[in-house]
């Protein structure tokens, strides 16, 4: 859907109020009823239907009357809400031309009040060409209900968080400015996508830089998962910048090795076809099982040590488990040596086993302690109830304990019987205080048909 911001200047406060009401109603409704929209918007002089008719004309909402009369928000209406919020914050004041189209986003130029040109990315998940996002991405996690607008909002939040963190750690990424709903505003990269570049002065240097970025991301605990020529920007000075981060996962993800190898293979294949770089020796090294992975030039997932940081933990990347968090806490507690770490892991296992056996320990504490050997206890269990007393410090034998348990069971049964008697007495007293319900439906002699019916019923009962 084409973004026509000229309509934005003609919308009133009531229009945006009704748009916000539709957005709020879509939290619990796929199609928001018209009455609910009117109650949420609560315009002073009414007229919600007139406002909805105006929004429908500009394709900001969609009308659906298949089950009931209701409306839902379109991507264009969601765009207007995000742009209006950004303008009110002072992030930008003008929207320019469209500079990029992706399978799940549109990118536009925006300008701030001082004339700074930035990029605005609007996520548009749910297009016909890319509807498998529900099965390939984990935006929903454990949620069962969803809509495409909500998925786009989650993707924007995730990308903004990754962009901020990677920028703080010195990665060549755009500067994240602000985010709202499904909109992310970032600095505009003065360069070109690598797919549009036909020649490079130093293709080998650029290739090594890009491969180094993939390895460096993995050392920080992240995998891009879509690291190809479409998501790599390069300027006139052959400076590389990475873009597009919503699909990033942790190195602890179950498919992390597959994603890492796929990113590496995309770069090797592109540079081999476009810039005629040969990697015969590297492919031979990979095919030779005798060669160690450390000696081969192509990076492997198993040879990368995650020692530079834990960005997947900080950003809650996909695939990061509770076990990984526990291991990180061990290293955060202090600088320890490897031997100390191994002892700490052993102690933690013992601690977990102690926690599992806590209930049994608690039961053992309740029982009286005995100084007898286990063999003596086994023999006493084999004897009959006529056996003599054991060496219990309290002077009680096992038969006395059994009698006490039986007496306790008898007391419990007597208590249950008394409670049942009290309950029956209370129910009987309550019934006496109320009239019989059958009297409400009985016929009364008031003359007319009812009296005749009652007489007939009496005769039938007597027969």
| CA-angle at 18, arms to 14 and 21, nearest 5° | 140
Residue 12 CA to residue 16 CA, distance in Å, equals: 7
User: What torsion do the CA atoms of 321, 323, 324, 326 make, to the nearest 10 degrees?
Assistant: 130
Q: With both helix axes pointing from N to C terminus, report the angle between 203-219 and 256-274 in degrees, rounded to the nearest 10.
A: 170
If one counts every other C-beta atom within 10 angstroms of the C-beta of residue 192, the result is 13
* Sign for the pseudo-dihedral over CA of 316, 319, 322, 328: negative
CB half-sphere exposure, 291, CA atoms < 13 A: 15
| CA-angle at 410, arms to 407 and 412, nearest 5° | 110
Task: Output the furthest CA–CA distance in the chain (Å, rounded).
Answer: 115
Point out the catalytic residue in the list 64, 138, 178, 226: 226
Contact 191, 206 (CB under 8 A): no
At residue 118, φ and ψ (nearest 5 deg) are -130, 175
Instruction: Give one DSSP letter per residue of 69-132, joined into a string.
Output: SEEEE-HHHHHHHHHHHHHHHTS-SEEEEEEEE-SSEEEEEEE-TT--EEEEEEE-TT-TT--T
Segment holding 107, helix H or strand E: strand 105-111
Segment holding 440, helix H or strand E: none
Q: With both helix axes pointing from N to C terminus, report the angle between 34-41 and 13-25 in degrees, rounded to the nearest 10.
A: 120
Determine what percent of the chain falls in helix, strand and coil, rounding each to the nearest 5: 50, 10, 40
Question: First CA to last CA across the chain, in angstroms?
Answer: 82
**Contacting residues for 406 by C-beta, under 8 A, at least 6 apart:** none
Residue 331 CA to residue 308 CA, distance in Å, equals: 13
If one counts every other C-beta atom within 10 angstroms of the C-beta of residue 84, the result is 16
Please say if 292 is a catalytic residue.
no
At 274, list the tokens: 């476009």
Residue 233 CA to residue 29 CA, distance in Å, equals: 41
User: Cα-atom radius of gyration of the chain, to the nearest Å?
Assistant: 37
**Contacting residues for 363 by C-beta, under 8 A, at least 6 apart:** none
Give catalytic residues, as residue numbers: 226
């Amino acid at each position: 859907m084409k973004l026509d911001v000229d309509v934005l200047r003609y919308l009133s406060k009531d229009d945006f109020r009704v748009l916000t009401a539709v957005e709020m109603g879509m939290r619990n409704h796929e199609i928001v009823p018209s009455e609910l929209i009117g109650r949420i918007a609560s315009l002073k002089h009414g007229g919600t239907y007139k406002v909805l008719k105006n929004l429908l004309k500009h394709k900001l909402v969609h009308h659906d009357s298949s089950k009931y009369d209701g409306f839902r928000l379109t991507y264009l209406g969601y765009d207007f809400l995000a742009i209006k919020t950004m303008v009110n914050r002072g992030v930008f004041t003008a929207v320019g031309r469209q500079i990029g189209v992706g399978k799940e986003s549109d990118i536009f130029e925006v300008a701030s009040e001082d004339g700074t040109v930035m990029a605005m990315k609007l996520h548009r998940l749910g297009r016909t060409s890319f509807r498998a996002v529900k099965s390939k991405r984990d935006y929903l996690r454990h949620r069962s209900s969803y809509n495409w607008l909500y998925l786009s909002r989650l993707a924007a939040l995730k990308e903004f968080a990754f962009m901020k963190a990677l920028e703080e750690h010195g990665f060549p990424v755009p500067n994240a400015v602000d985010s709202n709903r499904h909109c992310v505003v970032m600095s505009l990269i003065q360069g070109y996508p690598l797919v549009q570049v036909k020649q490079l002065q130093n293709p080998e240097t650029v290739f090594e830089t890009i491969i180094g970025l993939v390895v460096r991301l993995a050392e920080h605990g992240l995998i891009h998962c879509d690291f190809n020529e479409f998501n790599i920007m390069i300027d006139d000075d052959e400076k590389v910048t990475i873009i597009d981060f919503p699909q990033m996962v942790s190195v602890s993800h179950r498919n992390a090795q597959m994603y890492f190898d796929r990113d590496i293979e995309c770069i090797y294949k592109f540079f081999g076809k476009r810039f005629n770089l040969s990697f015969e020796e590297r492919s031979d090294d990979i095919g030779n099982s005798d060669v160690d992975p450390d000696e081969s030039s192509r990076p492997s997932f198993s040879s990368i040590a995650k020692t530079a940081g834990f960005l997947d933990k900080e950003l809650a990347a996909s695939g990061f488990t509770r076990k990984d968090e526990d291991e990180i806490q061990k290293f955060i507690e202090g600088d320890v040596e490897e031997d100390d770490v191994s002892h700490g892991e052993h102690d933690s296992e013992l601690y977990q086993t102690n926690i599992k056996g806590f209930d049994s320990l608690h039961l053992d504490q309740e029982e009286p302690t005995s100084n007898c050997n286990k063999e003596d206890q086994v023999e006493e269990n084999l004897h009959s109830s006529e056996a003599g007393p054991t060496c219990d410090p309290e002077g009680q034998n096992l038969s006395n304990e059994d009698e006490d348990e039986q007496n306790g069971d008898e007391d419990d049964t007597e208590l249950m019987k008394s409670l049942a008697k009290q309950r029956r007495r209370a129910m009987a007293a309550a019934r006496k205080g109320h009239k019989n319900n059958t009297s409400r439906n009985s016929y009364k002699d008031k003359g007319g048909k009812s009296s005749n019916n009652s007489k007939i019923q009496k005769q039938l009962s007597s027969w």
